[in-house]
Amino acid sequence: MSFSYIDTHAHLNLPAFAEDGEAVIARSKAEGVGVINIGTQAETSSKAVALALLHEHLYAMIGLHPIQTAPSAVADEETGKGGTPRVPEAEVFTKDFYRQLYQESNGKVVGIGECGFDYFHTEMGSYAVQEAAFIAQIELANELALPLMIHTRGPKPGEESPTGRSVYADVLAVLKQYATVPFNVHFYAGTYEEAKQFFEIGGTISFTGVITFAKVYEELVRAVPLELIHAETDCPYVAPVPYRGKRCEPWMVKEVYKHIAAIRREAESVVQHQLLENAKRLYPQLSF
C-alpha cells in the first residue's frame, strides 16, 4: 500500500489504545500515515507484531525498554482514562522469545528495541541490569541484521547519572563496542555534538511533537542533515501543537513534519519526501 508519511515510533500496542485502537488505526490509514509500533516488553512486543500482521500500514519493533528491567509504575497516558493501573514485573530480555517473535512476524518486524538507558527512573533499576538487557538486544539485532531503536533519558534535574556521564555518551560507548547494525536514537534531546557522534557510526535521530512547542530544539533541527532524521509521535505521549493535552495519535506526526519544514525553512514536500526516504533506508522492509 502507499502512504505519504511515516510515524517511526508509536505505541498503539499500549493499553491507552485498548478501547478504540481500531478507530485510531483507521484514522492513520485515512490520513496516509504508516506506523511502526515499538515494543517495550514481551507483552507489548507481541501486541505490536499482532497489529502489524492485521494491518498492512503497520509495522513492529520488538524489545525491552530499560525501565521494564525493574518493577515500575506506569504513566497515566499508558494506562488510558479509566484503564486499570498495572505494576509490571521486572523482565529479562531472552533472545529465544524475541527471535521466535521475529520469525512469526512475516517480515513485519523492522527492528529491535526500544532499548538503551533510562536514568530518569533511577529508583527502578540499576545501571548494570539495564546494560545487560541493552547488550543482549544489540546481539540479537546483529544476529538478525535488524536496526536498533534506542531509548535515552537523562537523570532528573539536579540528579547525577549513575556513570557521571551523559546518557548519550553511555549509549554511544555501548553501541560502539557491540553494534554492527545501524540505529535510531529516538526522542532526541541531546546536543548537536553528540548527534554528530551518532551519525559517524551509522546512527540517525528522531524528533517528536515536542519540537512544535519547545523552542530549545530549533537550533538543532536546523543544524542536522535532513538525510539523518526521522519524525515520530511516541504516542500516546506528547501530542504536538495544536493537539496539546489530547492523547497523541500517529496521524499527528504530520504536524512534526510541518514544523521540521518550517524551522528549516524548507518546502514541506521536500521534507516529506526525504523523511520517507530516510525511513526506507533504515527499515528496508517498509513497502510504500
Contacting positions for Zn ion (CB under 5 A): 234
* Nearest approach, Cβ of residue 270 and Zn ion (Å): 27
Nearest residue to Zn ion, scored by beta-carbon proximity: 234
Beta strand pairing status for 148-153 and 183-185?
A: parallel
Looking at the Cβ atoms of 152 and 261, the one nearer to Zn ion is 152
Q: Which three cell numbers mark 142?
A: 546483529
Nearest to 32, CA basis, from 284, 257, 282: 257
By beta-carbon proximity to Zn ion, the closer residue of 44 and 261 is 44
Smallest separation (angstroms) from Zn ion to the CB of 273: 25
Cite the beta strand spans of the chain per DSSP E. Answer: 5-10, 33-38, 58-62, 109-118, 148-153, 183-185, 203-207, 229-231
Residue among 114 and 131 whose Cβ is closer to Zn ion = 114
Please give the Cα distance from 199 to 208 (Å, whole number). Answer: 19
What is the distance between the alpha carbons of residues 108 and 190, in angstroms, rounded to a whole number?
Answer: 30
Which is closer to Zn ion, CB of 24 or CB of 261?
24
Whichever of 194 and 234 has its CB closer to Zn ion, that residue is: 234
Output the smallest distance, CB 53 to Zn ion, in A.
21
Inter-CA distances, 231 with 35, 106, 126, 196, Å: 11, 25, 30, 18
The least distance separating Zn ion from the CB of residue 44, rounded to whole angstroms, comes to 10
Q: How far is the CB of 266 from Zn ion (least distance, A)?
A: 27
